[in-house]
Amino acid sequence: MQGKKFRFSLQSVLRLRQHQTEQAIEALIRLQQERQKLEEAIEAARQKLEQLHQELAARQSAVDPAQLRRQEAYWLKARRQLRQLEQQLARLQQQEAEARALVLERRQAEESLERLRERQYARHLEAEAAAERAWIDEQATGAYVRKLQQRAS
């Protein structure tokens, strides 16, 4: 005996929550990729700055003052760029932390609806089983009554 098909009344809300969770995860992944690229750029900038510093230290005695000032200005510019990259990294890490919190929040909202759906489905199965038992009991009672009537006649 097939009963009424299960239908979760909040299925559209659940799909929306799942979509929102997926979007939050994708945004987090993009931020992580961006952070990784920025960290690589910072490492390259640090290496370049170190190289410039070593060149500057090595050439201090052999280079004329004008050349030395140009190299020092170039080193200072590279150092400023490194600081800017580090500030960008700090902002990006903050955005990443916020994105992680959002993913967690969205996932919790989705999971609460999933649990509700599972509980409703379990109740649906119980109601179907009870209805089937009642039907079987009714059939058995009817068969017993018919049998009694046949014996009496």
* pLDDT of res. 1: 57
Q: Is residue 5 a part of any domain in this protein?
A: no
Residue 68 in any domain: the answer is: yes
DSSP secondary structure string for all residues of 27-85: HHHHHHHHHHHHHHHHHHHHHHHHHHHHHHHHHTTTS-HHHHHHHHHHHHHHHHHHHHH
- Cα(62)–Cα(56) distance, rounded to whole angstroms? 10
At 148 the pLDDT is: 86
Does residue 110 belong to any structural domain of this protein?
A: yes
Share of the chain above pLDDT 90, in %: 65
- CATH number, position 133: 1.10.287
Close Cβ partners of 74 (under 8 Å, ≥ 6 residues apart): 52
pLDDT at 103: 96
**C-alpha to C-alpha distance for 108 and 59, rounded to whole angstroms:** 60
Domain count, the chain: 1
Token pair listed for 144: 């017993």
Which DSSP letter does residue 9 get? T
69-125 pLDDT per residue, tens: 887 888 889 899 999 999 999 999 999 999 999 999 999 999 999 999 999 999 999
pLDDT at 2 (0 to 100):
66
pLDDT for 52 equals: 81
pLDDT of residue 119: 95
Question: Does the predicted model carry a pTM greater than 0.85?
Answer: no
- The confidence score (pLDDT) of residue 4 equals 82
- Residue 61: is its pLDDT beyond 70? no
Tell me which residue range forms the domain holding 105: 10-152
pLDDT band at 49 (very low <50, low <70, confident <90, very high): confident
Question: Half-sphere exposure of residue 25, counting CA atoms within 13 Å on the CB side?
Answer: 8
Model pLDDT, residue 92? 96
Does residue 1 form part of some domain? no
Within 8 A by CB and 6+ apart from 4, the residues are 128
Domain-embedded: residue 2: no
Q: Would you give the DSSP letter of residue 129?
A: H
Cβ contact 46:142 at 8 Å: no
